[in-house]
Structure formats: structure tokens, C-alpha cells
């Protein structure tokens, strides 16, 4: 803690969660990789809103700020040595060259270069980062990695849902589907199949469940919400209530999920029930029931 609050302003609020590759803690002011993505996305949305309201000049200024940040992000946060984006910059702009799940948040926000983003996606799903249950907060092999820690090697469902959305955004839907499969498998070993706040980052073993973090909250809202975010990413699902339109863009279910039913999906005063089926070389979508004017589109 600093005299005015946390040294680093991110969701990983442990005192030791932001560090250099030699294990030393980063000193502030700290610029986290994911926060750059959040700000970039905010400027982009602000530009869109301004234009929609008729403020073209303001929209252009917001867009310019977003683009300037994107260029600086690529200059400052990419690491050729890691093959991904670094965890953060410390107070003197020195890179914290650590492989972490934070980079997935940057992909989710769309700030990353397309080619580099796909490289980062592969790094996030590499053996050291992906435990088999999910992406670790910090990759195995990093100096402060500890699979039993709170933020330095554990697996958080909400964090993984954001990472999966980032992978899907960069065209890596099969990798996103692997995260869905891992967390679905983990849910079979917990009470009521209710995903906890986090669990330990030990490697997945056959016929054994994940090692539960003793004081993890269960239930927890963002862990529960992760399920819907994961399905959105794997199925490329978009629901447009104004147009009463449901779109599946290149949907892909894990092999372990033969079918998925979505029932009572409301779009205005209309509802629809859908069946998503896993076929050997394709994913099919069938309308089981439709009340009102609802369009269902499948983009292959």
C-alpha cells in the first residue's frame, strides 16, 4: 500500500502481484498492460458515442487519442523475448517482463496489433500458462510463480472468461473453446458445479479435480458471470435486442459438449429457444421454438 492507496491500480491487488523477471517488486507509478487496453477501448467507445450524437469533431479527437495510445502501447509493452505483452511498466518505464494472464485483457480490448495479438494468444495457451483447467494468472517458471498463491499462479474463472474473449477477438476461437472446456471440467468437481472465485494453478491430471483454494468465495458473481462470457466467446454469439437478431459467428463447442440448449432467450417482446449441436466437422444451430419476430443467423 502507498499513503494514498494501492501502488498498482488493477484487479490483481496483492502487494506482490506486479514484479520484474528477477522477482523484485515494481515501484510506482505502475502502468499495467490491461489498463492500456481499458483506456483504449474507452476512447474508441467515446468516439462512437460522440459521432452518434452528432459531435463529429469530438469523435475524431477521441479516435485520435485511441490511435496514439495504441501506437505507444506497441512500442512500450511488446517483448520479442517473451513473445507476448509484458505485465507492466514500472515508475521509470522499465518493462516487467513477466508472462501473465493480464495480456489477455489487452486482447479483449482490441488494442493489440493483429499479428502480435495472435502470438500473444499462443503464449497465453502455452504449457506454462495454461494449466489444463484454465490460464494461470502468472505462468509457471516466472520467479514469483506459486500455484497456491492468490494472484501469482492461480486460475480465476472471470479472468479466463476475459482472456477467452480476447482470443476469440483475434480469430483464435479454438483456443477460447479450450478454456471453456477446462473450466467446464473443473466445475464437475465443485459443489453444485458452481465455479469458485479461484482455484490453484497445479497442472491438470486425469481423474483428479483442481486443487481448491481454501478461502475462495463460492458463489461469487464474476465467477458465475464467466460462464456466459465463455459461451459468448466460443459461439461468437451476439444478441441484438433492437433488431431482434441472434447471430452465431463461426461457433465452436468443445468436443466434450455434444449439445447446448439456450431456452427463453428474450429479444424485446419476442423469445426463442435454440439448440447448438457439435458435429464432427461443424457446429449446427437449430431453432426449437420462436415466438414473435426473431431472426437467427449463423456465419460459417
Average of per-residue pLDDT across 274-290: 95
The Cα–Cα gap between 295 and 56 comes to 33
The Cα–Cα gap between 135 and 23 comes to 20
CA distances from 233 to 175, 253, 271 (A): 10, 10, 22
Contact assessment for residue 8 and residue 29, using Cβ atoms and an 8 Å cutoff = no
Of the listed ranges 59-63, 182-186, 239-243, the one predicted with least confidence: 239-243
| 174 grid coordinates | 479454438
The Cα–Cα gap between 36 and 24 comes to 23
Give the pLDDT score at 75: 98
- Residue 229's nearest CA partner among 237, 218, 241, 240 is 237
Contact assessment for residue 83 and residue 13, using Cβ atoms and an 8 Å cutoff = no
Give the pLDDT score at 67: 98
In the predicted model, is pLDDT for residue 44 greater than 80? yes
- Sheet with 237-240, strands from edge to edge, namely 237-240, 245-249, 295-299
DSSP-H helix ranges across the chain: 33-52, 56-77, 102-109, 114-124, 157-169, 173-187, 221-235
Average of per-residue pLDDT across 96-121: 98
The Cα–Cα gap between 179 and 245 comes to 27
Of the listed ranges 8-22, 106-120, 154-168, the one predicted with least confidence: 8-22
In the predicted model, is pLDDT for residue 290 greater than 60? yes
Percent of the chain predicted with pLDDT > 70? 98
Q: How many CA atoms within 13 Å lie on the side-chain side of 30? A: 27
Average of per-residue pLDDT across 106-115: 98
What is the DSSP code string of 2-26?
A: BTTB-SS-SS--STTSSB-TTSPBP
In the predicted model, is pLDDT for residue 2 greater than 80? no
Q: For the whole model, what pTM was predicted?
A: 0.95
List, in sequence order, every residue forming a beta bridge with 274; answer none if it has no partner: 262, 287
The Cα–Cα gap between 17 and 64 comes to 32
| Range 44-82 burial, b when 16+ CB lie within 10 A, else e | bebbeebbeeeeeeebeebbebbeebbeebeeebbbeeb
pLDDT in tens, 62-91: 999 999 999 999 999 999 999 999 999 999
List, in sequence order, every residue forming a beta bridge with 272; answer none if it has no partner: 265, 290
Average of per-residue pLDDT across 259-266: 96
The Cα–Cα gap between 59 and 266 comes to 33
Contacts of 295 (CB under 8 A, 6+ apart): 243, 244, 245, 246
Give the pLDDT score at 1: 52
The Cα–Cα gap between 186 and 146 comes to 19
Reported as type and span, the H/E element at residue 245 is strand 245-249
Give the pLDDT score at 9: 79
DSSP-H helix ranges across 188-277: 221-235
Give me the chain's average pLDDT, please. 95
Amino acid at each position: 500500500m502507498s499513503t494514498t492507496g494501492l501502488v498498482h491500480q488493477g484487479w490483481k491487488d496483492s502487494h506482490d502481484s506486479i514484479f520484474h523477471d528477477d522477482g523484485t517488486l515494481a515501484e510506482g507509478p505502475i502502468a499495467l498492460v490491461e489498463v492500456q487496453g481499458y483506456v483504449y477501448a474507452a476512447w474508441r467507445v467515446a468516439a462512437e458515442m460522440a459521432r452518434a450524437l452528432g459531435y463529429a469533431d469530438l469523435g475524431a479527437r477521441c479516435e485520435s487519442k485511441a490511435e496514439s495510445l495504441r501506437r505507444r502501447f506497441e512500442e512500450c509493452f511488446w517483448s520479442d523475448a517473451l513473445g507476448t505483452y509484458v505485465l507492466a511498466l514500472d515508475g521509470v518505464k522499465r518493462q516487467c517482463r513477466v508472462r501473465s494472464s493480464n495480456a489477455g485483457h489487452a486482447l479483449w480490448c482490441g488494442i493489440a496489433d493483429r499479428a502480435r495479438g495472435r502470438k500473444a494468444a499462443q503464449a497465453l495457451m502455452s504449457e506454462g500458462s495454461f494449466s489444463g483447467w484454465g490460464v494461470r494468472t502468472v505462468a509457471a517458471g516466472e520467479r514469483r510463480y506459486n500455484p497456491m498463491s492468490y494472484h501469482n499462479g492461480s486460475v480465476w474463472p472471470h479472468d479466463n472468461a476475459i482472456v477467452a474473449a480476447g482470443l476469440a477477438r483475434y480469430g483464435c476461437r479454438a483456443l477460447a473453446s479450450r478454456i471453456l472446456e477446462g473450466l467446464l471440467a473443473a466445475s464437475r468437481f465443485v459443489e453444485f458445479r458452481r465455479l469458485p472465485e479461484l482455484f490453484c494453478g497445479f497442472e491438470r491430471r486425469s481423474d483428479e479435480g483442481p486443487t481448491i483454494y481454501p478461502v475462495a468465495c463460492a458463489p461469487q458473481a464474476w465467477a458465475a458471470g464467466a460462464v456466459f462470457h465463455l459461451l459468448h466467446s466460443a459461439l461468437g454469439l451476439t444478441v441484438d435486442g433492437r433488431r431482434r437478431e441472434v447471430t452465431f459467428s463461426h461457433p465452436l463447442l468443445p468436443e466434450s459438449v455434444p449439445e447446448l440448449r439456450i431456452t427463453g432467450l428474450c429479444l424485446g417482446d419476442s423469445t426463442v429457444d435454440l439448440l447448438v449441436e457439435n458435429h464432427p466437422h461443424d457446429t449446427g444451430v437449430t431453432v426449437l421454438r420462436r415466438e414473435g419476430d426473431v431472426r437467427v443467423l449463423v456465419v460459417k
